[in-house]
Amino acid sequence: MTVPSAGGNPHRQLNSTEVKRLNRGWRRATGARLALLLDSVAQPFNVGSIVRSAAAFGAGRLWLCGNTAALSHPSVGKTALGTDRFLVAEQEPSPVAAAKAAAAMGLRVVAVELAAGALPLHEAPLDGDVCLAIGNEDHGCSAALLAVADAVAYIPQPSRVGSLNVAVAAAIAMAEARRREWAFSDIPFAGHGELTLCTRTAGILAAVNVTVPFLDFPRPIAFAHRGGAAHGPENSMTAFGHAVKLGYSYLETDARATSDGKLMAFHDRTLDRVTDATGPIGARKYADLASIRVAGTEPIPLIEELLGNWPDIRFNIDLKDEAGISLLPEVLRRTGAWDRVCVTSFSGARLRTFRGLVDRPVCMAVSPACVAAMRCTLRLATPGRCAQVPGRITTSGFIRRAQSRGLAVHVWTINDRAEMARLLDLGVDGIMTDETEALRDVLAERGQWPTSPRPSSGGKPSPQTPLAQPDR
């Protein structure tokens, strides 16, 4: 973001109003969650400094573990200067318990430590929702914490100094996590009273105006969220098959990678909630998943299996992890499914990476930062064809702004009939639901349930693609 010059001085200091406006623009364009876990950071001034940096970078939660100095300590307050009011702080003696709590909230735990096997910070998985773990001034992160962290990163430094101060290291790590979300994304540039978004390359701008077949079906589009999870185990062949029998032409699913490079239709990072197994799905080989069942009865399907099983159905695919990004283009090549998928993610970085790997147009949703900008009435270029948003932010103004930029508005996850009707009255272009029968009935009552044949996919399943029975 830049601020216009005044009085002939292009580099004058900003006044307080301009600083507030500048920070507000970045804040509104920031969608990823950021949290901190302090593992026995004992010096009060370090804790206060970390708290102040965390507030500045928009972190929302702070776990104080071990013998970390309390926020009530006078020296912590002297350094934090009251910024602790912007954080939800939780005292948790065990850093392992805090890491598990962060993971349960959907945060990736990345420990910042000079440890064997650690990645340099610029290569660490800091995209999306992250909890940064910072260790003691002398001993660093405990071995128990490092064992449960999703990743470990270190900050490269070319000097002979042994290590950075922990408060400085925390600030650098937070800045890098935010930079991942902002770099090359739809971030506003500030002016007096109006913010305008720009993109980095002509290639992105050109992609905005490419027509994609995925959206050529009569609107509003009905999406079966995770196959229609109200009528079968989520992301299962049974749920998808039920939706197809109801007449759904659009199915929504999630994609996560196994440790040996297979792309599975699975939502959570871990197997615990919906299967009879535990632990991260990304730590398992494909063969290990063969005996695992969703809701005790359903195998976890491959994304390739879904595309091959229903070659005339369109799939909205949410990329849930970094490992799956490079796998999806190969799946689309093998199945010829380029024109019948829309790729989305809560991580703008994942979307950018995927876009750089494909050599032909694919329907994509815009990034969370782009959605945030539209909510703030910012002008922007949009490297995507649809805005997929929760119902709580879907107003008539948002719909109008998105559609004026050529974006279809798809709303998730709407299971209440009255809310479906309200959104349809507002003019949304699509609704994602677990209650597939209810949405079908609402659209039918309004004369908006499609009676014409399903759209042609233009793609054929690969001979290697297993064709499963929908009712299995």
pLDDT in tens, 232-271: 999 999 999 999 999 999 999 999 999 999 999 999 999 9
Residue 62 lies in a domain: yes
CATH number for the domain that contains residue 398: 3.20.20.190
pLDDT value of position 456: 55
Taking every pair of Cα atoms in the chain, the longest distance, rounded to a whole number of angstroms, is 73
Instruction: Let me know whether 245 and 380 are in one domain.
Output: yes
Say yes or no to pLDDT of 15 above 90: no
Residue 269 lies in a domain: yes
Given 144, 167, 182, which residue is the final one in a domain? 182
Instruction: Let me know whether 272 and 413 are in one domain.
Output: yes
pLDDT value of position 163: 78
Pair 266, 256: CB distance under 8 Å: yes
CATH number for the domain that contains residue 90: 3.40.1280.10
Instruction: Let me know whether 174 and 293 are in one domain.
Output: no
User: How many domains does the chain fold into?
Assistant: 2
pLDDT value of position 459: 40
Say yes or no to pLDDT of 180 above 60: yes
Instruction: Let me know whether 242 and 365 are in one domain.
Output: yes
Nearest to 231 by CA among 467, 411, 439: 439
Average pLDDT, the chain: 86
Residue 176 lies in a domain: yes
Distance CA 299, CA 290 (A): 7
pLDDT tens per residue, range 124-169? 888 788 999 999 999 999 999 999 999 999 999 888 777 789 999 9
Say yes or no to pLDDT of 2 above 60: no
pLDDT value of position 434: 97
Looking at the annotation, which residues are catalytic?
Answer: 225, 267
Pair 30, 178: CB distance under 8 Å: yes
Pair 441, 224: CB distance under 8 Å: no
pLDDT value of position 306: 98
Instruction: Let me know whether 384 and 275 are in one domain.
Output: yes
Domain housing 67: 30-182
Residue 110 lies in a domain: yes
Residue 14 lies in a domain: no
pLDDT tens per residue, range 203-227? 333 333 445 799 999 999 999 999 9
Instruction: Let me know whether 217 and 274 are in one domain.
Output: yes
Residue 238 lies in a domain: yes
Q: Which residue has the higher pLDDT, 28 or 80?
A: 80
Instruction: Let me know whether 274 and 328 are in one domain.
Output: yes
Residue 270 lies in a domain: yes
Residue 438 lies in a domain: yes
Instruction: Let me know whether 175 and 215 are in one domain.
Output: no
pLDDT value of position 8: 58
Instruction: Let me know whether 392 and 321 are in one domain.
Output: yes
